[in-house]
Every structure is written in structure tokens, then in C-alpha cells.
Structure 1
Amino acid sequence: MEYLGYFASIIIGLSLGLVGGGGSILTIPILVYLFKIDPELATSYSLFIVGITAASGCVSHYRMGNLQIKSALYFAIPSIFSILIIREVIFPQIAETLFSIASYKVSKSFLIMVVFSVLMIIASISMIRKKTITIQGSKTNYAQLAIIGFFIGIITGFLGAGGGFLIIPALLFFARLPMKQAVGTSLLIIFINSSIGFAGDLYIGTPIDYSFLLIISSIAFVGMLIGTQISKRIDGSQLKPIFGWFILIMGLYIITKEIFLK
């Protein structure tokens, strides 16, 4: 299973490089089911892996002129506050066992995976749906961008997910960015959010296996390079439905496994 996990790690970077999102959605299932890592610790690992992979993608997109720094900061700064509140204040206070139904115990790990599977299903639907986005006007709405950033930070904080599938539409509608700039800027936001979240986990003493993280991140980095090069020749929106169906199947599998196959 570990060898399959290493191979699957390429898809994390490939997804981020091609469509600017989906990488973190794949990271948690890979860590939990293929590497048998506890879901709570997996959220910390996901922040590191997705963050460092997104950073490498930022460099490529910067060279292509796809980064809008001002929009990224207006989005990311409110996200930082919500991420730190969730991970350093609220998350540690959640009991390991939430409640029991007869002999069945509902744990924090169960909650993380079920909420994550629902997020995967929502993300997959947004990726599968084929629609043309028409944007009126060209003025960036920084206030709305900041508000959305705060709420997406909650998702990042609780699940260790970058939220690229939510960030990109926000950048399209409220920052008025073209698709390729939205993809590049989303990677910068994901990098900032993930780095701050992981740094917060280090501060509270989360145990980290750095050698493992570096191996997975290196493999994901290769996938990112491949995905970024392919994105120069192929419109990432053409590949989104394929990733979407894959994520939908994984989301349905996770929710089925956690509820019925425990």
C-alpha cells in the first residue's frame, strides 16, 4: 500500500499544476488510507505537502506572469486569522470521542474524514460541471475577497485542505482575474495559508516525521512540474472533469468506508 501511496503522490502535484486545486483533496485520503496515518496528524502533514508543492508552482507561474500579489494578500491575510483560530484554539479542544450511539463511538477522526468526504463530493461536482463563466466589469472587490478568504481559511484550518476549488472561483468573480492568473494566484494563497497553518502546528508541538514529508513532497513536486508544463499546452479546464470524477469516486468511497465498513 505504501508503494501505491508514493505513486499516488504524483497526482497531488499534477492536479495542482494543471488546475490549481484538488491536490489537498487527494492528500488526506492518500495519507490516511495508503500510509495509515491518523487523520488529525494527516491534516498537519497535508498542510506541509500541499504548501511546499504549491510554492514550487508559484515560481513557475510567476515566470509566466500569472501571479497577482495584491489580490493574493487580500485573500490570504484574513485566511491566516481563521486558520490559526481553528487549528490552535478550537481544534485542540475537540474531544477524541465526541459521543456514543449504543456501542458505536463517534470520534474526532471519524468527524474529520466524513466532513472531508463531503468536501470532496462538493469539490468534484464543481469540477465536473461544464459551464462558461461570464464576468461583468473589471474592478476587484477586495472587501468580498477578504470575507471569502476568512471563511475558506476555516476549511483549511479544520481539514488541512488548501481549498483551491473554492479559491479559483472567488478570484474569477471578485478579483476579476483570467483563468490562468486565477490558477497561479490560488497557488500563492494556498502556499501562504498552508505554511502558516503548519507553522502553528509546530508551535503547539505536533510530532512531525520530516523525512517522510520530504519524500512525499518531492514526489508531489515532480507531479507539479509535469502539470505546470502540460498546462502551457492544454487548458486545465479541459481536464477538470476527469479529476472531478476521480475525486467524486474517492469521496463516495471514504464516506461509505467510514460509516458502513468500520
Structure 2
Amino acid sequence: MIGLILSAVIGITLGLIGGGGSIIALSILIYIIGIKTHQAIVMSLAVVGVVSLIGAGLHSQRGSVKLRAGILFSGVGMVGAYLGSHVTHQLSSIALLLSFSSLKMVIGVLLLMKRYTNQNTIALQSRSKLKEVLTSLIIGFLTGFLGVGGGLTIMPALMIFHGLSSKDAIGTSLLIVTAHCGAGMLGHLHYGNIDFRMLMLITIIAIDGTLIGTALSYRASLASLKKWFVVFVIAVALFITVKNYIALYKQLSN
């Protein structure tokens, strides 16, 4: 019951800052609801994908979704997401969660070190198409592999490669996350084993959260929110890392 209520936070986060839903979704699914890791990754992709689609629709009504940038960035990423989904099932639960938490900590630290301004645009630097393609491919692969939506890394990439404002980057990143999650889901469906009833309940509640988050995103100070959310992401990732290293130690000791 608590897990279902907390599912609203997934939507609020995605609607508010355009990313960060995956770490909340996976934490709720695994540590509160008790779903197995591989199944939780698939369900996280589904929830984050649907919620991101709703969020992108809401942001597009305010003119904050740039289709050209979204399509260009997500095209290659969808290929990466599909490929990544097949790697997931080759690893153990502990290996997946350690990979996930390590990635989140690295991204969190990099985002804290790299101060992206909340000005209307960010200086365009290194607008190389090759760099954009590689960035999209890597983010897409990680989405399919670990259930990482990638919104927190897609946004600065959009600001760098396409010169989008922070508001436009949020809306456009949600569109890209939707595409990546959809491609990743296609790869995972081959392996089956999804609790569709639980998935539907969580998704409906998360969608309600998206409505709240999107409305707040046009009133809140995004720079401050992102900073504190990144700190939260690092803290949760650290918790997952410690918990799984303990589990690994116990496993090796037996």
C-alpha cells in the first residue's frame, strides 16, 4: 500500500524536473513492494515510459517540446535501448543493482560538479553530430540495460547539442525518455514475467503525480530543485550500493 502511494513521487519527479523517475521507481518496486530485480527493471521502463509520455504531452501544450531535437536524439538511442535490454538478463540481480547504483552516483557527482545554469540558453559547445549520436546511443543502451530513463543526462545534452532552454529541455527529454523506454520494453517482452496488474496500478498513480509535477515545474526554481534532487539520488544510490555489497559478501561467505 505504501509503495503504491509513493508511486506518485515517480510522476511528480518526472513532471517537475524531467528525469530521476527510474531510481525512485526501482527503489519502490524492489525494496518496498518486493518485486524481483529483473522484473522491476522491466516494470520501471514501462512506468517511466508511460508517465514520460503523459508529461511530454502536458509540456507540449505549453510549447516546451521541440520535436526536431527530440526525434534526432532519440532515433539512435532507441537502437541502444533495444540492444541493452538483452544484456540485462545475462547478469545477476546483485550485479545489476550495483551497476545501476554506481551509474547513478557517477552521474549525480558529475551533475553537481558541472553547474548548468537556469538561463534561457546554455553556451553551445562541441556541437558535433558524432558526439550527439554516441551520447544518444550510450544513454539508450543504459535505459534498456538498467531501466535508467536518462532524463537527468538527456537534459544537459539537449542544452549543449541543440541550445534548448531548461524549460524546453525538460519537455523534450520526456519525449526522448518515452522513445527509449518503449524500445527497451520491446526487447524485454521477449523474456516475459511481468505483473501487469501491479504495473497498471503503479502507472495510474504515477500519472496523477505527473499532473502535479508538471504544474509545479512552471512555478518552482528548477536550478535549486535539481541540485537537491541530485543529492537525493546520490544518497539513494549509496544505500543501494551498500545493501548489495552486504548481500554479495554474505553470498560469497556461504
**TM value normalised by structure 1:** 0.87
CA distance in 1, matches of 2:116, 2:45: 31
CA distance in 2, matches of 1:132, 1:39: 33
Aligned equivalent of 2:179, options 167, 192, 198: 192
Worse-matched range after superposition: 185-194 or 206-215: 206-215
Supply the AA of the counterpart residue of 2:19: G
Alpha-carbon distance, 1:86 to partner: 2.0
Aligned equivalent of 1:79, options 57, 70, 77: 77
Task: String of CA shifts for 1:203-245, please: whole Å, max 9, x gaps.
Answer: x141222111111011111111111001111132221122222
Segments of structure 1 that go 5 or more residues without pairing to the other structure are 96-107
- Contact 1:71–1:142, Cα closer than 8 Å, also in 2: no
Percent of aligned pairs with the same residue? 33
CA distance in 2, matches of 1:232, 1:73: 24
Task: String of CA shifts for 1:232-262, please: whole Å, max 9, x gaps.
Answer: 1113222112222222221111111111255
Segments of structure 2 that go 5 or more residues without pairing to the other structure are none
**TM value normalised by structure 2:** 0.89
- Per the alignment, residue 150 of structure 1 pairs with 137
Supply the AA of the counterpart residue of 2:71: L
CA distance in 2, matches of 1:249, 1:126: 14
Cα distance change, pair 141–6 in 1 and its aligned pair in 2 (3 A):
same
- Contact 2:43–2:199, Cα closer than 8 Å, also in 1: yes
- Per the alignment, residue 99 of structure 1 pairs with none
Aligned equivalent of 2:193, options 200, 207, 212: 207
**Count of matched residue pairs:** 245
CA distance in 1, matches of 2:134, 2:243: 35
Supply the AA of the counterpart residue of 1:11: V
Cα distance change, pair 143–67 in 1 and its aligned pair in 2 (3 A):
farther
Aligned equivalent of 1:32, options 30, 33, 36: 30
- Contact 2:122–2:164, Cα closer than 8 Å, also in 1: no
Cα distance change, pair 148–138 in 1 and its aligned pair in 2 (3 A):
closer
Q: Are residue 232 (structure 1) and residue 230 (structure 2) matched?
A: no
Task: String of CA shifts for 1:81-118, please: whole Å, max 9, x gaps.
Answer: 11112223x344x26xxxxxxxxxxxx10111111111
